[in-house]
Amino acid sequence: MSSAANHQDLRVGVDVGGTNTDAVVIDAAGEVLAAVKVVTTPEPIDGIRAALDEVLVGLDHARVSKAMLGTTHSANAIIQRRGLDRVAVLRLAAPSSLGLRPGAAWPDDIHAEVVGATSIIGGGHEYNGREIAALDTEAVRRLAAEAIRAECRSVAVAGAFSPATSEHELRARDVLVEELGADFPVSLSHEIGSLGLLERENATILNAALLSVATSVISGFQEALAERRLDVDAYLTQNDGTLMMAGEASRYPVLTLGSGPTNSMRGACALAAVNDAIVIDVGGTSADAGILVGGFPRQSSAAVEVGGVRTNFRMPDLISMGLGGGTIVRNGSGDLRIGPDSVGYAVATEAICVGGGVLTLSDVSLAAGRMTGFGDPAMVKGVEGGLVRSAIGWVDEQISIMSDRMKSTRAALPLLAVGGGAHLIPDVIPGVSEVIRPRHQSVANAYGAGIAEASGSVDRVYSYDSSSREECLDDARELAANAAVRAGADPDRVRITTVTEVPMTYVPGQGCRVMVKAAGPLA
């Protein structure tokens, strides 16, 4: 891999979305030197190759030192149940948890595809670090044998309270390596998720199921880079908007499967040079609102489902509604109805303003003087003025509700208007200090990938009785910062990005769950 030299001042960010694959080249100052958008191909690696070729035209490849990829490959594999590996699941928690089998509440189709063998065995820890039971190593060996019989390609291991005490998961892995060999992949839950055994176990199973898909995507990306004589460090973006080295990412694919919205929001904010803002992304069919706090999306507190499987991932807290450029407007007998259905991308041919026959919000926006550069204003002359006012009033109200729901305080915040339907967003919104429409916003995803930082986090339970609250928080901050440095962050520029304390009711000794995240630019 390359060493960082002064002339290696460029990064390439690539984002593979459902519709488009975007790529940008960014210099050391964060300026966009080149940006392209190509159609996502059935084999996404073809789109990645095309985007790389196009974005690098005229640039000295030797100046590029880093390449970042955000992709929906893994998410699609889960949603489409395609290319998933069969997994043996080992839960270390017995005799606790026997009332709830691994893979409970998974949709039948993905369960049949993925969950090959399961076993709940003696092991795991209590809230205070004591063993629930000694690790039953014989049962680990039996599961290994069963994994071979059931033609599983990887093992997922989840132990009770492993985010606090990982010892049994690590020992179980050693036994599995003895039985299955060092090349047989094993995913450990404490490396994947936080407290909440069922959800963490689900995420670990998904991770184990995605290993083949991830390995092929990542080696494809690395090959594509090498073919273009790009001697660079390759990274993937994670769900939280920070980076993971390509080698790591092929072991923890589940942590990269929801990076799209995060990259988009972080990219938009960086392009607008703000750290705290509401972001509303209006597409053809829907509008998604999120909020950035300190440069990172606020994360959802509710459980996140991936392909029908409940996980405890940290995903951006987003709200969506059926409001987009293609949203259909109906005015039957004076009763205005807007959406939620949409003509989607067909707005380019079906909207009134391009000679089509469907009245959409794009037509309303054009008639109201908001949308420019698309469609013919003469075509929407026939749309009645009262209807335009009512429809635009509805849009303004919905945008205002979305931005208000996203805010966590009453203070006014800037709002970033992004996406192909951003013209619908008014310039003045109650509770919003200003509406910003960033340059290059159409490639915000790839830009977000290109500027991503390395991060580390910690999630554990402290007792504020044994040490003071400050001492506990300092310990957690240090652990998180060290983890970020291990992930590649510059030790001198690593900073704490979030500290969350959740007091535990009914727990003695002032138990408190502390979650800290640190991030910093790559060293």
Partner 1 sequence: MDYLKPGDIETLCLGATLLGAGGGGDPYVAKLVAQQALETYGPVRVVDPGELPPDDLVLTTAVIGAPTVILEKLPAGTEYVGSVKALASYLGKEPAAIMSIEVGGLNTLLPIATAAEMGLPIVNADSMRRAFPQIEMTVFTLAGLPAGPLSIADEKGNQCVFKTTDNHVAESLARAAVIQLGLANAISCYPLTAAQIDEHGIHGSLTYCNEVGSLLEAVKRGEEGSWERFLTESGSAEFFRGKVVDLDRRTTGGFARSTVILEDLEGGDSTMRIEVQNENLIAFLDGEAVVTTPNLICLLDCETFEPITTEYLAYGNRVVVIGMPCAPEWHRPGMLELVGPVAFGYDVDFVDLPNQPR
Where on the chain is the footprint of partner 1 (CB under 8 A)? 93-101, 104-105, 126-127, 130, 132-133, 160-161, 195-198, 301-303, 401, 404-410, 461, 502-508, 511, 513
Tokens 């509303």 belong to: 280
Q: Which is nearer to partner 1, 381 or 410 (CB)?
A: 410
Least CB distance from residue 474 to partner 1, whole Å? 21
Q: Which is nearer to partner 1, 100 or 379 (CB)?
A: 100
35 CA to centre of own chain: 22
Q: Which is nearer to partner 1, 131 or 231 (CB)?
A: 131
Q: Which is nearer to partner 1, 189 or 360 (CB)?
A: 189
Q: Which is nearer to partner 1, 42 or 506 (CB)?
A: 506
Q: Which is nearer to partner 1, 23 or 338 (CB)?
A: 338
Least CB distance from residue 163 to partner 1, whole Å? 9
Least CB distance from residue 401 to partner 1, whole Å? 8
Q: Which is nearer to partner 1, 18 or 508 (CB)?
A: 508
Least CB distance from residue 121 to partner 1, whole Å? 13
Q: Which is nearer to partner 1, 367 or 402 (CB)?
A: 402
The beta strands (E) that lie in 352-479 are given as 413-418, 432-436, 454-463
Task: Determine the straight-line distance between the first and last CA of the chain, rounded to whole angstroms.
Answer: 14
Rounded (10°) angle between helices 211-227 and 197-209: 50
* CB-count exposure of residue 453 (10 Å: 0-12, 13-18, 19+): buried
Least CB distance from residue 299 to partner 1, whole Å? 12
Tokens 């429409």 belong to: 437
- Contacts with 13 (C-beta within 8 Å, 6 or more apart), sequence order: 23, 24, 26, 67, 68, 70, 446, 447, 448, 449, 450, 451, 452
Q: What is the largest CA-CA distance in the chain?
A: 78
Least CB distance from residue 157 to partner 1, whole Å? 15
Q: How far is CA 333 from CA 201, 330, 337, in A?
A: 54, 10, 10
328 CA to centre of own chain: 30
- Contacts with 478 (C-beta within 8 Å, 6 or more apart), sequence order: none
Least CB distance from residue 80 to partner 1, whole Å? 26
Least CB distance from residue 300 to partner 1, whole Å? 10
Q: Where are the alpha helices (DSSP H) in 292-421?
A: 347-350, 361-367, 385-406
Residue 95, preceding bond cis, omega within 30 degrees? Answer: yes
Q: How is residue 210 written in tokens?
A: 């995605």
Q: Give the β-pairing of 64-71 and 233-237.
A: parallel
Q: Which is nearer to partner 1, 267 or 290 (CB)?
A: 290
Least CB distance from residue 341 to partner 1, whole Å? 16
- Residue in 257, 181, 263, 155 with CA at minimum distance from that of residue 213: 257
Q: Which is nearer to partner 1, 59 or 100 (CB)?
A: 100
Least CB distance from residue 130 to partner 1, whole Å? 8
Least CB distance from residue 122 to partner 1, whole Å? 10
Return d(Cα 61, Cα 8) in angstroms, integer. 9
Q: Which is nearer to partner 1, 42 or 430 (CB)?
A: 430
DSSP conformation class of 62: G
- φ/ψ of 259, rounded to 5, equals -80, -15
Tokens 């200090």 belong to: 433
